[in-house]
Structure 1
């Protein structure tokens, strides 16, 4: 990948280089760059989602799509993307290759630092769990709050996967000290809402569900059962806040793809929230949702609630279609102030 991108850049710098050939070289390099990276996951998901999982900037995926299916991007755009791709490879691969133990050490450092930050967060929020803090709050408390949030964001940008692991396994979201999960939800819910802006909650839910599924075979062990129940409670909370997800359709695919004992309940909670906050997403998945509700085991009230949501969406779609079918007037007949007479004589 690096050699292809570097070759395209060097070819571009050659005096008299053919513009079309240069655009082709850049385009092929970007296509290979994205394809080779996402293929390494060996997972059947859209390229967009795989790129997000790998932390690949999504403009690379857009350029790949354009170069593959549409006209070649402009040379100026390809130059910028080529340089950025080479920089990305350096930062995420070559700069780390000489330190084979760096990832393990870095993971340990992240765990220590995230634990320190969460202790500070608990100290700050301990006596003010219900207090809302606006971005423009310049009080001492407000400045402490947002400075701490910014530190979480920085660690998230550094190694999000390790940060999520720590959140789920280090007595942060999932208490191992006998404390109530309800208090943890009140404590960390506002923080997760802020971190949700760039997809953190999407990936947290993905890891949370995987962890929950992995515990299903050990529920006879009391400790595993407590963790399982806590993860289930967190899943319900997060699925009820679909506006926190950057890509709700991707999260819905996770819910439909990970079948476990709580799947039906989670599906009911999530689609109910989707109807309220992201109504445009659910119609594309109605058939799969209905099929899952019919086949999955679970409470009758969950099945009934899911069918009610589906019916509501279907009725809404029929009403909208009926309104479109009835609307046979042209747009100037609908707009009584629109007068086409001033165009007469303009077409001579």
Structure 2
């Protein structure tokens, strides 16, 4: 019991309560208690919803410090300890509190009825970076930048890096796939919408629908997935470019996504498209003016309607400054 109250253990059933009611904590993003939330946000709203609560009960909110790297502690340093004041109506209690998440912490709720402890919730954890031990699949949650990681299975999260930018925004998710081919991630992309490239996995599923990117099938232990929004990126530290150039797709052959590099000796307008073997345009990747240098162009293996293309040979075709260059990419899923 002390370990549970110290945020170091979990109930087998997180929702049963006393035994005729329920207890629930949930963030505004939809992360329920029991999750470990990796976040770069200064605060999160957490809803407290209880049923079967006696009218005479009190509801107490506790926020405890997480001591990363310290094992075995049971005495908690509480950052916040207060009684919630929302009314209990017909045995139902509902309230929303704002939690400071600038420090690693956990939040839980206790119910007391006239001096007798009636129950307490599972903790909801918040970290500013992925904890050193990683986060096992069932408890993975993240809110970084404009995206949220809402679900993971057969996948232990070990790293998360979100880099906003113009023209490219990146999310890199690292971890260990527990059963080869079965690792699964769901990522809500928010205002960023459909990604322009997903690189690094051996995906059997790479599907974007209704604002959620679903990936199934990683590359085992040490998997890393890079998700890109925005088609181009000037590579830092690249050597001086002497002439227009276009690389083949990398990786090649590819499964879920591939990236071509184009090199510009001077600022220029570029028109980059993906063609099938019959010369039909599959996707327009760029129609813009770019600075001199080496740029990365990501293609997620989908056509202009968002449908995954079939296995086969495809071509990048670059037009710039009166020159036309082509390179090849082979899709094998």
TM-score range, shorter chain: under 0.3
Q: TM-score, normalised by structure 1?
A: 0.26
Higher relative contact order (CA 8 A, sep 6+): 2
Bigger proportion of residues as strand = 2
Q: TM-score, normalised by structure 2?
A: 0.27
